[in-house]
Amino acid sequence: MKSEGETWYDDDAGPLVPLYAVTGGRTHSGPYDLDLITLVVAVAPDLHAPLVSPEYADVLWACAYPTAVAEVAAAANLPLGVAKVLISDLAERDFVQVRSTWQPDAPDLEILRRVLAGIRNL
């Protein structure tokens, strides 16, 4: 029978693997406290990339250098929430290292206030 409805070819047909399938339906990034500016860096991506599915490989290549989570998501063309789940998966397997911007030995609020007052006084 002749097809009469709309037809969408290749990319127009939409992604073959939907996003929920990429994360297995998960949206939470586990124990890792990832925010937009958390830095991540891949560990030996040329060794690990072939071991994982393409989306994970994309993330690995996106953080070949220490890169912020937001940048990784943009480079891998993934929504931020999805990228966070993938990064935390990779981090669990030590394929990436997560470097949180919030250091436990960071200067306390008092010091920062003093710095701010000093700047204003300039």
Does position 44 interact with another protein (CB under 8 A)? The reply is yes
What three-state secondary structure class fits 60? helix
Report the distance separating Cα 17 and Cα 1, nearest Å: 29
5 contacts another protein (rule: CB under 8 A): yes
Q: How many CA atoms within 13 Å lie on the side-chain side of 84?
A: 17
Nearer to another protein by Cβ, of 5 and 118: the residue is 5
Question: Residues 103 to 122: which contact another protein by CB under 8 A?
Answer: none
Cα(49)–Cα(104) distance, rounded to whole angstroms?
Answer: 32
Binding site for another protein (CB under 8 A): 1, 3-11, 13-25, 27-29, 41-58, 61-62, 64-65, 75-82, 89, 93, 97
